A and B are shown apart, each in its own frame.
Chain A
């Protein structure tokens, strides 16, 4: 829930933003740290009990270790490894051990597994900081500034994924938060809530049918509409969430990265991914695709890298084979697009071709959503019924 609860606005956002606006600039990072910690304890306890709230210690540990990071230092490697291990244990333990013991009950299953609030996002920020410190791309900042970066609660739970070198100057900027920041921020929050309540939640009536039972008894002709409804819902839901996060950050005078730029109107799959969940795409480009060799390697390696990055993206979205298939689908589409671009570097700009390519991109993206919202078995039932009745 979080962004659609009164607690978020009245216990955390409004008091924190008001204090941030009136207190002297040297105290501002600590306002974010105090309210960010309270926010994490409150909502993590609500979602996962005492152990969930205790995960605040992860932030404290990470901030302590981060003080040791230096350019080219091994401490940065430790930071990278610990963030991957952390995510691996909490999110993927049962998935990977389940794959090892595929046909027998998993003796290593973590029965009371829970996900710390926002772990998929905050570990990416930990990883980014350790990597960029190692490469000498960012300064260390003070402990308070780093804590404010990782505990900045508007973006803590589901992004947009920030960069320390972008965040720090805004935190340090001595100017007062302006009335325009508050007006634009509040407008952005309201538009995000409208997207969530009036579009995303309204479509739930259709998307709830995406389960094996309903798929089997439904008229075959309604199935594409259910998939389309999910495509619109996830866009309204997540872009609405991002609007609220960006608007909330604006109340602190801080502009965080945009996450969406009209993705459904794009003319090819590469442009789609440059406009959908932009902060994630950039993170994967900088910390997975480029380290794998990026576009400087042979064409077959480029295709393999593109597919590998999308498999990582799929697995990051969820610990399930369906997410891997979803990532593979997008990876193959991106590889095909790159191959096509090599054959024909200049795009055809005839209006009919442009229109058709936008429609095809939209259909191909929406065709993959059933893999995203259902397990592999249910999704395969969906496609079987859709294609063969």
Chain B
């Protein structure tokens, strides 16, 4: 179960190329769109308080 959870999170975050088996098929595009929309919403909601990335000054 943990392996499936990890694979799902990594796929949704763009780290993996292959979707977990329960996400493949017609619903895959819907899920991708939802992820992009959620990400854009979160970025819009929280941007503006931005600070420097910590490792930039290294």
Contacts and interface: CB of A to CB of B under 8 A. Distances in A.
Interface of A: 1-4, 115, 120-121, 157-159, 180, 183-191, 193-194, 196-198, 201-202, 204, 233-234, 237-238, 240-241, 243, 247, 258, 262, 316-318
A1 B17 contact: no
Nearest to A277: B55
B32 A187 contact: yes
Contacts of B56: 1-2, 157-158
B55 A201 contact: no
Given A1-B52, A158-B53, A238-B54, A201 B46 contact: yes
16 contacts: A2-B56, A158-B55, A158-B58, A184-B14, A185-B14, A186-B36, A187-B12, A196-B53, A197-B47, A197-B49, A233-B54, A243-B13, A247-B14, A258-B15, A262-B6, A317-B58
Given A183-B32, A317-B58, A3 B43 contact: no
Nearest to B39: A190
Q: Is the interface of B mostly helix, strand, loop or mixed?
A: helix
Most chain B beta-carbon contacts within 10 A, residue among A4, A191, A196: A191
Contacts of A317: 58
B54 A190 contact: no
B42 A238 contact: no
A90 to B, nearest CB: 12
B1 interface: no
A11 B41 CA distance: 23
A318 B36 CA distance: 36
Most chain A beta-carbon contacts within 10 A, residue among B35, B39, B45: B39
A262 B6 CA distance: 9
B53 A3 contact: yes
Most chain A beta-carbon contacts within 10 A, residue among B14, B40, B46: B14
Given A2-B56, A115-B57, A201-B50, A180 B42 contact: no
A194 B43 CA distance: 6
A157 B53 CA distance: 11
B51 interface: yes
B31 to A, nearest CB: 11
A197 B53 contact: no
Nearest to A157: B56
Nearest to A372: B54
A201 B39 contact: no
A241 B50 CA distance: 13
Interface in B1-35: 6, 12-15, 17, 32, 35
A189 B51 CA distance: 17
A201 B14 CA distance: 21
A198 B47 CA distance: 8
Contacts of A2: 53, 56
B14 A190 contact: yes
